[in-house]
Structure 1
Amino acid sequence: MKFSVGVDIENTERFPNNDAGSSDRFLDKVFTDAELEYCFNKEKPSQHLAGRFAAKEAGFKALEQIESVNRVHITQIEVIQTGGYGPPEITGPGMNSINSSLSISHTTDKAIAFVMMFEQDGEYNAR
C-alpha cells in the first residue's frame, strides 16, 4: 500500500463572513453550491470557507502524486459533509478507487487541512 499526502493552510481573512460575499466570482468558481450553503450556514463562514479551500488545495496536492488519476482542477474537487457532525470527505474525478482521509481545523485567523490518499489494489504509482 502506498500513500500520497497533501497539506494546505489558509488565512481566514481571504474569505467573507456573510452570504453577501457569496456572489463573489472567486467563491462561485471554486466552491460548489453545496459547499457554499454549508459554509454560509455556519456562525463564522470565513473559517469554514478557508477550511474547505485548504482541503481542496490539500486534495489537489495529494492527487497530483497519483499517476493513475488524470489531472484535475481544484474546482473539480468537492468537500462533502455526509452527516451531522461526522468528518468531511473529499471527492473528485478519478477518485472511485482511492481511499482518502481528510482532516480540517481552524482558528479565528487560520485554517489547515491534511489529506491522505491510498489505493490497495496495486494500481497506485507515485509520480
Structure 2
Amino acid sequence: MFIYTGIDIVENRRIGEAIKKHGSRFLNRIFTENEVKYCFSKAEYVSCFSARFAAKEAFIKAFYQAYKKTLPLKSIEIKGSTGKPAEILLHPPDKEVESILNRIKYTFSISHEKNYSVAVVIIYF
C-alpha cells in the first residue's frame, strides 16, 4: 500500500482580508459556486472559506507527492452539510487525472477556530 499525506494551515484573517480586498474575483478563482453559497450561509463565513482553502491545499500536496501533478484549486470541492462531516467532491481537469482519481482512495479532516483553519488529507492505494 502507498500512502501520501498533505497538510495545510491557514490564518483566517488572511482569507478574510482577501475576500474584503478582492471580493468575488478571489472567491470565484478558488471556490466553486456551491462552496461560496454554503460558506456565506454561515455566520462565521471566513473560517468556512479558510477551512476549505486548507483542505484544497492539503489535497493538492498529497496528490502531487503521489503523481507529480498539480491540481487546480477549483477541481477540489469541499461539500458542507450542517451536522455532518464535510465531503470532497472532485472535478478532474482532464481524462488523465480523472483516470487517476478513479483509482485512489482518500480521507481527510478539517478543523477551524477563531484564528486558524487546518486540514489534513491522506491518499492511499
How high is the TM-score relative to the length of structure 1? 0.79
- Where in structure 1 are there 5+ consecutive unaligned residues? 120-127
Give the one of 79, 87, 90 matched to 1:89: 87
Q: How many residues align?
A: 116
Detail structure 1 runs of 4+ shifted over 4 Å in the superposition.
19-22
Cα distance in 1, alignment partners of residues 78 and 117 from structure 2: 14
CA contact (8 A) 2:60 2:70 kept: no
Cα distance in 1, alignment partners of residues 45 and 22 from structure 2: 10
% identity of equivalent residues:
34
- Residue pairs, 1:73-84, within 5 angstroms: 73-81=72-80, 83-84=81-82
SS at match of 2:46: helix
The alpha-carbon deviation at position 22 of structure 1 amounts to: 8.6
Give the one of 90, 103, 111 matched to 2:117: 111
The alpha-carbon deviation at position 23 of structure 1 amounts to: 3.8
How high is the TM-score relative to the length of structure 2? 0.80
- Residue pairs, 1:1-127, within 5 angstroms: 1-16=1-16, 23-67=23-67, 70-81=69-80, 83-92=81-90, 93=92, 94=98, 95-119=101-125
Higher percent of residues as helix: 2
Residue-by-residue CA offset, 1:42-74 (whole Å, 9 max, x unaligned): 11001110000000000000110122x854222
CA contact (8 A) 1:98 1:118 kept: yes
